[in-house]
Amino acid sequence: MTYSTSPEALPRDESKPDVVRIRTYEPTDYTECREIFTEGMQQLANPVMELVLPWYAKNAAVFFVFAAAVAFQWSLWILAVYLLVCIVLVALLYINIYLQIMKFIGACLSADLRDIDKSYMYAKGSSMWVAEYNGKVVGMVGLIHSENHPDGVAELQRMSVSSSVRRKGIAGKLIRELLNFAREQNYKKIVLSTTGAQHAAIGMYKKFGFRLVNVFPYPQKILEDLRYNCFELDLTM
């Protein structure tokens, strides 16, 4: 699950109560859904940085002691150079994280989100839903079943809600709609994967009964502290 940031607040009619409506995806939602997903994923750069930075900071502190000892014996310029190198490495780490996120976004936009109708609406046992807030699409979630999934198993994908409408229960409403559909389709299990940086999403999935079944390190060595968390929900219980 991801939360996207809108550059400005959504227009609101103060004379009317806030209205959230969950409905199935329509072709006219195409651009908005891709934008919501993209913005939400881009927001992960800072949380991922916060997750992986402590390991680098710990090692930098160890080498700082060594660099300081050498600097006091030879030249304080050594310490200055070391600190400059640390700053450059942190900047490069952040750039790498951002590029990894953009790579993932590009892969998704070129895969199932390239033709949402074909991937979700025309595929048997699959569907996508959007959330409307005061008439504007602000959230999305998809359930997909393909040849890669065992019989009776479907995968929750592309959960994203705009940060401009957080704390309104929109993500929960989307998941409830998805689960109702899954039960109607007689699915026995729902699976999903998310990164350890998506704390809010993980907390919500657990509230709905999803349980952690596996954890994988990120394939890039320098980001191995960023874990892939695999969850599943047993619908037969």
Of 234, 230, 219, the C-alpha closest to 100 is 219
Q: Are 120 and 141 in contact (CB under 8 A)?
A: no
Confirm whether 4 is domain-assigned: no
Overall number of domains in the chain:
1
> By residue range, what is the domain housing residue 136?
22-236
Rounded to a whole number of angstroms, the CA Rg of the chain reads 22
Q: How far is 141 from 160, CA to CA, in rounded Å?
A: 7
In a domain, 3, yes or no: no
Residues whose CB falls within 8 Å of the CB of residue 118, separated by 6 or more in sequence, listed in order: none
- Domain assignment present for 181: yes
- Report the CATH number that the domain containing residue 112 is assigned in CATH: 3.40.630.30
Q: Report if residue 198 sits inside a domain.
A: yes
Q: Is residue 227 part of a domain?
A: yes
Segment 17-32, tens digit of pLDDT: 568 999 999 999 999 9
Task: Give tens-digit pLDDT for 161-170.
Answer: 998 887 789 9
Closest CA to 53 of 84, 96, 14: 96
Per-residue confidence (pLDDT) for residue 8, from 0 to 100: 39
3-state secondary structure of 145: coil
Looking at every residue in the chain, the average pLDDT score rounds to 87
- The model carries a pTM of 0.82
Is 194 among the domain residues? yes
pLDDT digits (tens, 9 = 90+) for 95-118: 999 999 999 999 999 999 999 999
pLDDT band at 79 (very low <50, low <70, confident <90, very high): confident
pLDDT > 70 fraction of the chain, expressed in percent and rounded: 86
Structure tokens at 25: 């995806």
pLDDT in tens, 151-189: 999 999 999 999 888 778 999 999 999 999 999 999 999
Tell me, yes or no, whether 6 lies in a domain: no
On the question of pLDDT at 208 being above 80, the answer is yes
Q: At 71, is the pLDDT very low, low, confident or very high (cuts 50, 70, 90)?
A: low
Residues 209/233, Cβ–Cβ less than 8 Å: yes
Task: Flag whether 2 is in a domain.
Answer: no
